[in-house]
Structure formats: structure tokens, C-alpha cells
Amino acid sequence: MWATQAGKHLGGRQDAAASLMINPSTNTTSFDVVIIDYPDRDLYILRSGDFMRYRSRACKKEPETVQWIAGFEAESVFWDVGASVGPYSLIAAALGHTVFAFEPNLASAGEMQQNVWLNNMDKDICVIPVALANTDGFDYIQTQAPMAGVSTQQDLIERGAYKRLFLQSAQMMKADHFADAVYPNHVKIDVDGAEIDVLEGGRSSCAN
């Protein structure tokens, strides 16, 4: 059973610190979390994945994305492609939608699954650690830091802007395979330069 302890507010709701604990019987585990700046419900993410505070300030960072999600018809199916640690997936689930969150970065995907559990949304959000692409198979993805929540821009990689890049193997799959099983009503694609690859892998779905 999840329990929430009130946190200390540090000059703004998005800066609120809190401790979430689970106490199965004798052991108590606490997690260092922050609250997303979503005004209608407290949504928690682990502080360790709040890269440059982009994730906890999701509404301030992309107000148009939040407004778009708020306009979905009731009980929609939402694909969050490039979900990172899941702020927009959590917002969509809080509004009653079913979410399929695609995130190939295993650090981010693993932390997103924890965020799903922390918010009691394990029946609303399905985390899929796969890269939607224009081909099926395995390849490497690159990240600028060995941690959750980071973003790595493809154009900056090509310009040699990062001092070091970390490689991770990832499963690549075409979006059409998933659409055959679960067709989305709405899709957000934010994959730092590989958006065309995602669309090419979903040609049949996009044509429908």
C-alpha cells in the first residue's frame, strides 16, 4: 500500500519535495521524488530522472502538448513515442486515457516504470522499451549521459557537440506491428531527430 508524506515546498509547487514509501510489513522504502507542475493532480516522478528539471516542469516546457492532451476524447488510446521518464504519459493517464509509452533508453524506461508504480497507474500505462523505427531488428542508440531522463539531439551528435556518448543496444520495430494490436487515437513523437524513421515504420497505420 502506497503512502505519501507531505513534502517541503521550496518556492513553488513544481519544486515540492516529497517522500513516497511502501511498507509491506516491517521494511520501509522511501524514494526521493518531485511533483510535476500539472495543476489538476499531484503526479510524482523520481528526482534522479528529472534531467535539468525538464521533466518536472513538463507543463511549463510544453504547454501546447498538455493542452493537446487535455482535448482528447474520453478514454482515448495514446501513444507516447519517446516518452523519457513519462511526464506526458502520466498526465494522459490522469485524464483517463490508456497509454502505450515507447522509450528505448533502458535507464529512462526503467525509471518510467517506477514512476508508473509510484502513481498507481500500472493498469493505465504500458511501458514498452522499444525504439519505433523504419526497420525491425537490433541497433545501437546513443545517449549523452548514463542516467535516466536525458535527451540526446541527433543534430548535436552529428556536429560532435557531446564530449562523450554512451552506447546501448536497442530493439527496433516498425510502428505498424503495434498498430495491428492496439491502434492509437493520438500519437506524440519526440525522438530527437528520428521522427521520420518512426513515421516510415508506420506507413500503413498513418494511411488508415
Q: For the segment 151-175, what is each residue's pLDDT rounded down to a tens digit? A: 877 777 778 888 889 999 999 999 9
Query: DSSP assignment, residue 75?
Result: T
Catalogue all structural domains in the chain, each as residue range(s) with its CATH number: 2-207 (3.40.50)
Among 134, 136, 143, residue whose Cα is nearest residue 109: 143
Q: What is the pLDDT of residues 29-45, one digit of tens each?
A: 678 999 999 999 999 99
**18 with 33: CB under 8 angstroms?**
yes
pLDDT (mean) for 94-105: 98
Residue identified by cell 485524464 is 95
